Amino acid sequence: MKYIKWMYVVMAAMVLVNLASEYILNGKYSAIASWLVTALFFFGTLFFINAKHSLSKK
């Protein structure tokens, strides 16, 4: 269950990075924000794999 919570945290962080990039920073650092979203997507995928593995054991 803890992996599912972390997946939600990663998803919320992706949304916050996009919103901060566009509205607070006016798109000046959109390339850096894109890299951050890509890294967060990678970590979210890892949490998904761990959640799938731990839930299939039960």
**Sole residue written with tokens 């920073």:** 25
Tell me the pLDDT tens digit for each residue of 5-41: 888 888 999 999 999 999 999 988 899 999 999 999 9
- What token pair was written down for 7? 């997946």
Give me the mean pLDDT over the 46-53 stretch: 86
- Does the structure show a pLDDT above 90 at 56? no
Nearest to 8 by CA among 48, 37, 38: 48
- Does the structure show a pLDDT above 80 at 2? no
Nearest to 37 by CA among 55, 13, 56: 13
Q: Where are the domains of the chain?
A: 2-57
Q: Is 10 strand, coil or helix?
A: helix
- Does the structure show a pLDDT above 70 at 58? no
* pLDDT for the residue 14: 93
- Does the structure show a pLDDT above 70 at 53? yes
